Chain A
Amino acid sequence: MELFDLSLIWALIIGFGVIMYVLMDGFDLGLGILYPFAPDEQARDIMMNSVAPVWDGNETWLVLGGAGLLGAFPLVYAVFLPALYIGVFLMLAGLIFRGIAFEFRFKSRGNRRWWNRAFCWGSAVAAFAQGAVVGSYIQGFPVEDMAYVGGPLDWLTPFTVLTGLGLMAGYALLGATWLILKSEGGVQAWAYRITPPLLALVLAVFAIISLWTPFVNEAVWHRWFDRIQVIWLLPLLALGCAYTLYRAVRLRREGQPFVATLGLFIFTYLGLVVSKWPVIVPPDYTIWEAASAPESQLFLLLGVLFVIPIVLAYTAWTYWVFRGKVRPGDGYH
């Protein structure tokens, strides 16, 4: 007797965690990617100060997702991590470097240049690796007897390189629009200037990926093209967000560009999810086949349902406390 479909609940939780992570770590990774292009060191200070209060909680979702997958969908954990072995290492190394760069840049003067580099490279590598993960999820993995049987670099194909670069561009766009929201004067003007070309780049890459995906994976083709259905609303909504973003930048709106970019990400993400649903280890395994024993899912669910509201409240409180513009000289002098 089952009162709830635990696997479904867990899929929703993990799915929620993934998009929370992408949106929240996305804009601060994006600022790292934009770092070398910033007009001057003062702009860099403002960029870093704009995320200093909030980026801490962002990686919470990554660790929670990693541990949650082992608890709820061990097959995902046991196939994705071996298949993406090298990519996972690069991502973790990137995240660690940018993490310590973040901490020590604030406390340095002479070594600051090195921490800047670590912050930028760490962010870029981590973003690329995450994009490549998305690409290899679309591609699927050779799995036999519930174990990955491919080679070490199967995940690195022209398609995944494109998704990697695409996510880098997407994160940079998130970062630029976040900066519009959080800065003013010269820095904001710079952020306004780079947003339209970034948007064009993102749309171009997304378009290529969307056209390419049905050829990489036949199941996706059938899902989208067998008949026209409601899911076609998702790309339309994503395009609507892109248009809103373009218009908002032209009208020099401050908050709308960021919100529109969030929308662009959310609808693209949902589009990806419906392409695959309910397959979680492509090409073959659904969320129910990848699940751990129901008693384990239930045992863990109690703790996670307890902690998620607390983490959300903490996060919301942080954003509220640190709302408003970051000005030069804020933070440190």
Chain B
Amino acid sequence: MELDPLLLSRLQFAFVVSFHAIFPVFTIGLASYIALLHGLYYRTDNPVWDRLAAFWTRVFAVVFGMGVVSGIVMSFQFGTNWSHFSHAAANFLGPMLSYEVVTAFFLEAAFLGVLLFGRGKVPQGVHLFAALMVALGTFISSFWILSANSWMQTPTGVELRDGFFHITSWSEAIFNPSFAYRFWHMVLASFLTGGFVVAGVSAWYLLIERDVEANRRALSMCLWLLLVLAPTQAVVGDFHGLNTLEHQPVKVAAMEGNWERSAHVPLLLFALPDREAQDNHLEVGIPSLASLILAHDPAGEVPGISEVPPEEQPVVWLVFWSFRVMVGLGVLMIGVALAGAWLRRGGRVYTHRGYLQLLRAMSVAPFVAVLAGWIVTETGRAPWLVYGQMTQAQGLTPSLTGGMALFTLVGYVAVYAVVFWAGLHYLTKVVRDGMLPEAETPTLPGDVERAMRPLSASHVPFDDDAATDARS
């Protein structure tokens, strides 16, 4: 069998970027939540907020550390596998990606240390300021990355001369047409991720009756936030979809599983898209609803996939089903948030074991939804790397062979499996030992605490032997 370097490189990039993305998606939301907790503590002086902030800062440190480690590979991947694209788009892409790095380093050097290690050592106001700056920094970092990605979806502000993209307008390139939608969609996704994880962990602590006062407050606050954020995300997602309809109609057609441009298009709940037949099997749909959503008119026209020749079509089933996973989970999140509001009557939300178990399970949902959403937008752009201007095949490293790509794909999967195992194992420990009265928390004394090694903010032992040492 011939190994296809293009397919393998795409798989590798998808794997590395998905693996990396789950960490920042969580830390962006969590950073804002921690800043909020610091703000509440500053205003009310209630030690509950301080306890919560201290615990979630430890979690933040571990996840941030994992994000940094998995991110190192990202800054080299563009060159190893997509050298032609990197070279051609470097005038824009280089500064964008570098500014992300610059932002991250500035943040680490200046504020992360104060946030992670400053508890009790710096005045409360300074600690709050550091928390706010770290939260702001996570937004600025995602600003650069999402701008670069959006530019690849809707390239503006550049002209292609002799095979190289040259900037004609920085503002048009940075604030390209899909950027604002993608940015806010992603910010809300991060907030939802942070919210559901905090809600899930708080629910678990309530189930085992640990620090009930603090965790009730945390859960209550999260559920209010989710009640606002989850429906807002549906609205923002709709705007994002309309923007995509304008700039990348084929992607929207694939999301809807609509092959021919037509009116009264149904919203498909189930279908098996078939690219060979250029049609779907086993369709189940709600009549005219897709037209209503996309054109705000039941008789509105929806573009079809077959408007472009088959070689310019994305892998329809993948786009179609990933979109359904994302939207399905989004609807579920709205439902869970509404159920929480309902259960507030009589305070049952804190004691209803079934609901608390559901919240525990839901902490995974936003991660899956985010990855599904990225699969929709990235594979839905195929075969384009820079939409309408450069295909993935053109961007590939010319000297890359299938064997090389397979070697590194297997290698990265193996490396990340170890990293992920160690990280998850450790994170589980941190959560299991979290929110205990401080005297009972097992910690190893005195690892040197450094901002650029965020994991050093947590002194929870890694294995049981060390935990025994620490307790004795």
* Chain A residues within CB distance 8 Å of chain B: 49, 52-53, 56-57, 59-60, 62-64, 66-68, 70-72, 74-75, 77-83, 85-86, 88-89, 92-93, 95-97, 99-100, 102-104, 106-111, 146-152, 292-293, 295-296, 299-300, 303-304, 306-307, 310-311, 313-314, 318, 322, 331-333
**Among A63, A296, A333, which residue has its beta carbon within 8 angstroms of that of B92?**
A296
Chain B residues with CB under 8 A of A56: 450-453
**Among A83, A96, A108, A146, which residue has its beta carbon within 8 angstroms of that of B462?**
A108
**Among B93, B408, B468, which residue has its beta carbon within 8 angstroms of that of A89?**
B408
Is A106 in contact with B408, judged by CB distance below 8 angstroms? no
Is B399 in contact with A148, judged by CB distance below 8 angstroms? yes
Residue B106 interfacial (CB < 8 Å): yes
Known: A103-B455, A106-B447, A332-B447. A92 touches B73 (CB 8 A): yes
Write out, one digit per residue, whether chain B residues 158-183 have a CB within 8 A of any chain A CB (1) or not (0): 00000000110010000000000000
Give the Cβ gap from A277 to chain B, nearest Cβ, in Å: 23
Give the Cβ gap from A288 to chain B, nearest Cβ, in Å: 15
Distance A95 CA – B72 CA, assembled complex (angstroms): 9
Residue B76 interfacial (CB < 8 Å): yes
Distance A111 CA – B458 CA, assembled complex (angstroms): 18
Is B97 in contact with A60, judged by CB distance below 8 angstroms? no
Distance A49 CA – B449 CA, assembled complex (angstroms): 12
Chain A residues with CB under 8 A of B411: 89, 93
Is B90 in contact with A77, judged by CB distance below 8 angstroms? yes
Distance A151 CA – B98 CA, assembled complex (angstroms): 29
Query: Which of B81-89, B187-195, B349-357, B361-369 lies on the face that meets chain A?
Result: B81-89
Distance A96 CA – B417 CA, assembled complex (angstroms): 12
Write out, one digit per residue, whether chain B residues 16-41 have a CB within 8 A of any chain A CB (1) or not (0): 00000000000000000000000000
Chain B residues with CB under 8 A of A318: 450
Is B94 in contact with A70, judged by CB distance below 8 angstroms? yes
Give the Cβ gap from A123 to chain B, nearest Cβ, in Å: 15
Chain A residues with CB under 8 A of B228: none
Give the Cβ gap from A232 to chain B, nearest Cβ, in Å: 36
Is B408 in contact with A85, judged by CB distance below 8 angstroms? yes
Is B94 in contact with A74, judged by CB distance below 8 angstroms? yes
Is A85 in contact with B90, judged by CB distance below 8 angstroms? no
Distance A299 CA – B147 CA, assembled complex (angstroms): 15
Known: A56-B452, A149-B398. A82 touches B94 (CB 8 A): no
Distance A186 CA – B4 CA, assembled complex (angstroms): 56
Distance A86 CA – B94 CA, assembled complex (angstroms): 23
**Among A49, A74, A303, A311, which residue has its beta carbon within 8 angstroms of that of B86?**
A74
Write out, one digit per residue, whether chain B residues 375-416 have a CB within 8 A of any chain A CB (1) or not (0): 000000000000000000000011111011001100110010
Given contacts A149-B398, A292-B90, 20 further A-B contacts (CB under 8 A): A64-B101, A67-B75, A70-B75, A72-B94, A77-B78, A77-B79, A89-B408, A107-B460, A107-B461, A107-B463, A110-B466, A111-B462, A147-B398, A152-B404, A295-B170, A314-B110, A318-B450, A331-B447, A333-B445, A333-B446
Distance A307 CA – B465 CA, assembled complex (angstroms): 42
Is A106 in contact with B90, judged by CB distance below 8 angstroms? no
Is B98 in contact with A53, judged by CB distance below 8 angstroms? no
Is A82 in contact with B83, judged by CB distance below 8 angstroms? yes
Known: A56-B452, A66-B75, A82-B79. A310 touches B106 (CB 8 A): yes
- Chain A minimum-CB-distance residue to B100: A67
A/B interface sample: 26 pairs, CB < 8 A: A56-B450, A56-B453, A62-B72, A71-B95, A77-B79, A78-B84, A79-B83, A82-B397, A82-B398, A82-B400, A85-B399, A85-B408, A92-B72, A95-B72, A96-B73, A96-B415, A104-B422, A107-B444, A108-B465, A110-B463, A110-B465, A147-B398, A296-B95, A307-B106, A310-B105, A331-B447
Distance A102 CA – B456 CA, assembled complex (angstroms): 10
- Chain B minimum-CB-distance residue to A92: B73
Chain A residues with CB under 8 A of B436: none
Chain B residues with CB under 8 A of A52: 447-448, 450, 453, 456
Known: A104-B422, A149-B399, A152-B401. A70 touches B83 (CB 8 A): no
**Among B109, B167, B397, which residue has its beta carbon within 8 angstroms of that of A296?**
B167
Residue B99 interfacial (CB < 8 Å): yes
Is B105 in contact with A307, judged by CB distance below 8 angstroms? yes
Chain A residues with CB under 8 A of B407: 86, 89
Chain A interface, >50% SS class? helix
Chain B residues with CB under 8 A of A333: 445-446
Is A77 in contact with B456, judged by CB distance below 8 angstroms? no
Known: A292-B91, A296-B92, A332-B447. A68 touches B86 (CB 8 A): no
Chain B residues with CB under 8 A of A79: 83
Residue B419 interfacial (CB < 8 Å): yes
Is A295 in contact with B167, judged by CB distance below 8 angstroms? yes
Chain A residues with CB under 8 A of B106: 306-307, 310
Residue B276 interfacial (CB < 8 Å): no
Is B455 in contact with A304, judged by CB distance below 8 angstroms? no
Chain B residues with CB under 8 A of A78: 79, 83-84, 86-87, 90
Is B76 in contact with A88, judged by CB distance below 8 angstroms? yes
Chain A residues with CB under 8 A of B87: 74-75, 77-78, 146-147
Chain A residues with CB under 8 A of B209: none
Q: B419-472: which residues lie under 8 A (CB-CB) from chain A?
A: 419, 422-423, 426, 444-448, 450-453, 455-456, 458-466, 468-469
Chain B residues with CB under 8 A of A111: 462-463, 465
Distance A172 CA – B157 CA, assembled complex (angstroms): 49
Chain A residues with CB under 8 A of B469: 109
Chain A residues with CB under 8 A of B445: 332-333
- Chain B minimum-CB-distance residue to A60: B105
Residue B102 interfacial (CB < 8 Å): yes
- Chain B minimum-CB-distance residue to A154: B399
Give the Cβ gap from B278 to chain A, nearest Cβ, in Å: 36
Is A311 in contact with B97, judged by CB distance below 8 angstroms? no
Is B69 in contact with A100, judged by CB distance below 8 angstroms? yes
Residue B418 interfacial (CB < 8 Å): yes
Candidate in B109, B397, B458 with the most chain A CB atoms within 10 angstroms: B109
Give the Cβ gap from B311 to chain A, nearest Cβ, in Å: 24
Give the Cβ gap from B413 to chain A, nearest Cβ, in Å: 11
Residue B314 interfacial (CB < 8 Å): no
Chain B residues with CB under 8 A of A100: 69, 418-419, 422-423
- Chain A minimum-CB-distance residue to B89: A74
Is A96 in contact with B83, judged by CB distance below 8 angstroms? no
Candidate in B79, B91, B450, B458 with the most chain A CB atoms within 10 angstroms: B79
Chain B residues with CB under 8 A of A314: 109-110
Known: A78-B87, A108-B465, A303-B99. A293 touches B166 (CB 8 A): yes
Chain B residues with CB under 8 A of A75: 87
Chain A residues with CB under 8 A of B266: none
Candidate in B69, B94, B398 with the most chain A CB atoms within 10 angstroms: B94
Distance A149 CA – B110 CA, assembled complex (angstroms): 43
- Chain B minimum-CB-distance residue to A115: B462
Give the Cβ gap from A130 to chain B, nearest Cβ, in Å: 13
Chain A residues with CB under 8 A of B404: 85-86, 152
Is A71 in contact with B399, judged by CB distance below 8 angstroms? no
Residue B80 interfacial (CB < 8 Å): yes
